[in-house]
């Protein structure tokens, strides 16, 4: 059988598109692993900063600009690393450190006094006390520094060409609003730095942005392979053997065959049973209207007349990990692993508006929501997840056991 060069090209390009889409999907899924609680805020913030959002190890990083000043926002859950770190390019030409009262540090040779109310909350030290005092005496500087020091473990650092803020933990709830307010304060402080003597001599260096080399390499390689395929096929026809008939894929216990076809690898995974749930949380769920355990039906898109969507709570037989898979219109749109989940439940759409939120109130839902309970003994550990205008949003209820699961 002679191969058509055009057919070879189409096949290769199709494979390139598939691999590129797979890499993009895998990258985006891994991007928010561990950061799901404020993933929506991070995306919104990246848009407001006209920047990009990417993963760096265990950290979620946003590169962008605030008031034309390059800025990097880093969110981390790693040990010995600040939960929130913001670095902004600024025309600072002196070193100064502002820290909470009682904090220990070896930075800054001289302690700089300001006023009683500010010094009662913060300690200010500098290697350049004269310039620091001049800057702190500028109108509006102390109030904005006070806003940045809202956390009892927040540190503000001025070094040549930049200004940094770090807080011990990621601020939740209202992560996006919290960071935006800090960015506005830092922008105002940068404007006052620009009024300092010799500030125009400070060289402001742009921050490097992430380069999407993996996807670009795949695309370029695919194009080259397509050209090679055309030339080779045109010179020498080849035969394509018929594909061998495959065996039926292993099905996980409790997973329907049609669902398994669109889910990822299911080796060592099975649908959760009642014994896998926290007993107290499971008892509450049954009283609140929960009917199923490992395979739940819902209407995530609000189409109650059509086919139901499916949500799975899976358990790994080897390490006990949990995994939540959401299938909407027969396609997998959420597949995330958790070290532990005490419960997965469905919240009917009409009951979502009655939830009392400890975080900001999420957007209006398209359909039903999922409730994930992460710590059974902590009634504030619930996470509500649903679609709004086709986008996945999350919110944290003040008490997950106050939610009604009955339709």
pTM: 0.47
| CA–CA distance, 28 with 51 (Å, rounded to integer) | 16
H or E segment and range at residue 232: helix 213-235
pLDDT of residue 238: 45
| CA–CA distance, 107 with 127 (Å, rounded to integer) | 8
Among residues 392, 391, 402, 324, the alpha carbon closest in space to that of 358 is found at 402
**CB count in 10 Å sphere of residue 101:** 11
**CB count in 10 Å sphere of residue 246:** 6
User: Tokens for 71?
Assistant: 């800025």
pLDDT tens per residue, range 282-319: 899 888 888 788 999 999 876 655 558 999 999 999 99
Contact 315, 276 (CB under 8 A): yes
Contact 336, 323 (CB under 8 A): yes
User: Tokens for 387?
Assistant: 């679609």
- Quote the distance between the C-alpha of residue 83 and its chain's center: 13
pLDDT tens per residue, range 176-221: 999 999 999 999 999 999 999 888 888 877 655 544 455 456 566 6
pLDDT of residue 28: 65
DSSP-assigned letter for residue 390: T
Mean per-residue pLDDT of the chain = 83
Mean pLDDT by 10-residue block, N- to C-terminus, for the chain (407 residues)? Answer: 60 71 64 86 92 88 91 88 91 92 81 89 92 92 87 83 91 90 94 90 67 54 60 49 41 88 90 91 87 89 69 93 93 91 92 89 90 90 91 91 86
| CA–CA distance, 324 with 228 (Å, rounded to integer) | 42
User: Tokens for 14?
Assistant: 């199709």
pLDDT of residue 211: 46
H or E segment and range at residue 315: strand 309-316
pLDDT of residue 306: 56
pLDDT of residue 55: 85
Task: List, as own/partner pairs, every contact residues 301-306 make where C-beta atoms lie below 8 angstroms and the sequence separation is at least 24, other chains included.
Answer: 301/328, 301/329, 301/366, 301/367, 301/387, 302/349, 302/365, 302/366, 302/367, 302/368, 303/367, 304/367
pLDDT of residue 212: 47
146 half-sphere exposure, CB direction, 13 A CA radius: 13
- Measured at the CA of 338, the angle between CA 297 and CA 311, to 5 degrees, comes to 10
Among residues 222, 213, 294, the alpha carbon closest in space to that of 15 is found at 222
pLDDT of residue 149: 78
Phi first, then psi, for residue 401 (nearest 5°) are -80, 0
H or E segment and range at residue 332: strand 331-338
pLDDT of residue 202: 83
User: Tokens for 353?
Assistant: 């508006």
């Amino acid at each position: 059988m002679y191969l058509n060069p055009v057919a070879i090209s189409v096949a290769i390009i199709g494979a390139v598109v598939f691999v590129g889409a797979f890499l993009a999907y895998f990258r985006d899924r891994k991007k928010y692993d561990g950061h799901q609680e404020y993933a929506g805020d991070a995306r919104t913030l990246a848009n407001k900063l006209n920047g990009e959002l990417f993963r760096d190890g265990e950290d979620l990083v946003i590169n962008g600009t605030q008031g034309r000043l390059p800025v990097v926002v880093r969110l981390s859950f790693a040990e010995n690393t600040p939960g929130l770190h913001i670095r902004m390019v600024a025309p600072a030409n002196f070193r100064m450190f502002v820290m909470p009262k009682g904090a220990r540090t070896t930075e800054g040779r001289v302690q700089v006094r300001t006023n009683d109310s500010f010094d009662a909350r913060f300690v200010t030290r500098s290697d350049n006390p004269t310039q620091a005092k001049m800057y702190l005496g500028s109108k509006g500087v102390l109030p904005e520094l006070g806003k940045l020091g809202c956390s009892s473990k927040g540190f503000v650092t001025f070094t040549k060409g930049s200004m940094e803020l770090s807080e011990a933990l990621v601020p939740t709830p209202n992560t996006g609003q919290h960071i935006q307010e800090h960015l506005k304060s830092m922008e105002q402080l940068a404007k006052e730095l620009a009024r300092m003597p010799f500030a125009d001599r400070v060289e402001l260096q742009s921050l490097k942005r992430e380069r999407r080399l993996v996807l670009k390499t795949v695309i370029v390689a695919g194009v080259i392979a397509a050209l090679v395929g055309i030339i080779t096929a045109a010179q020498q026809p080849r035969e394509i053997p018929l594909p061998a008939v495959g065996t039926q894929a292993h099905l996980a216990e409790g997973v329907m065959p049609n669902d398994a076809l669109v889910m990822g690898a299911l080796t060592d995974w099975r649908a959760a049973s009642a014994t896998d749930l926290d007993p107290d949380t499971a008892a509450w769920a049954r009283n609140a209207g929960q009917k199923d355990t490992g395979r739940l039906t819902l209407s995530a898109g609000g189409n109650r007349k059509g086919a139901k969507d499916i949500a799975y709570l899976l358990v790994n037989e080897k390490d006990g990990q949990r995994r939540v898979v959401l299938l909407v219109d027969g396609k997998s749109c959420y597949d995330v692993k958790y070290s532990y989940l005490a419960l997965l439940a469905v919240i009917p759409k009409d009951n979502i508006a009655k939830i009392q939120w400890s975080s900001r109130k999420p957007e209006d839902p398209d359909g039903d929501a999922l409730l994930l309970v992460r710590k059974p003994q902590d009634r504030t550990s619930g996470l509500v997840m649903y679609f709004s205008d086709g986008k996945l949003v999350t919110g944290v209820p003040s008490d997950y056991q106050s939610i009604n699961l009955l339709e």
